[in-house]
Amino acid sequence: MLFVDTSLFGSPNESLLSLLYRYWFWGWLFMDASHRDLFKRAAALQHNIRQRVHLPCYMRRWSVCVVMMLALGFALERDIANPWSIASAYTAAVLSLTVLVVTASGWVLLGTRERQG
């Protein structure tokens, strides 16, 4: 797992690797809601529900990635007979689709918690 220095978020000293991480992955937006303390858990859950609004942006990014990888795989299938490059493109598409499904399920589940109150 990539560890980033959260004190540098949004500063000119933030590394490119940290920016790329925050662009593609949303884990830095959310808090751990598995505390034993009821008040900390409730506060973390409320924070996560408020941060839910950012997930559609990440879903769009990963959707574009899925479509591009599928298009690349299809183009390689038609033009190049190298099975490794075709398999790599389709594998990247499946992995991107997995991230997209996890993001969408988190978005839906946090939405149901928001309606419950």
What are φ and ψ of residue 4, in 5° steps?
-120, 150
Distance, in Å, from the CA atom of 65 to the CA atom of 103, rounded to the nearest integer, reads: 14
Token pair listed for 79: 């033009």
Backbone angles phi, psi at 13, to 5 degrees: -90, 0
On whether the CB atoms of residues 73 and 86 are closer than 8 A, the answer is: yes
Tens of pLDDT, residue by residue over 48-72, are 999 999 999 999 999 999 999 999 9
pLDDT digits (tens, 9 = 90+) for 79-106: 877 889 999 999 999 999 999 999 999 9
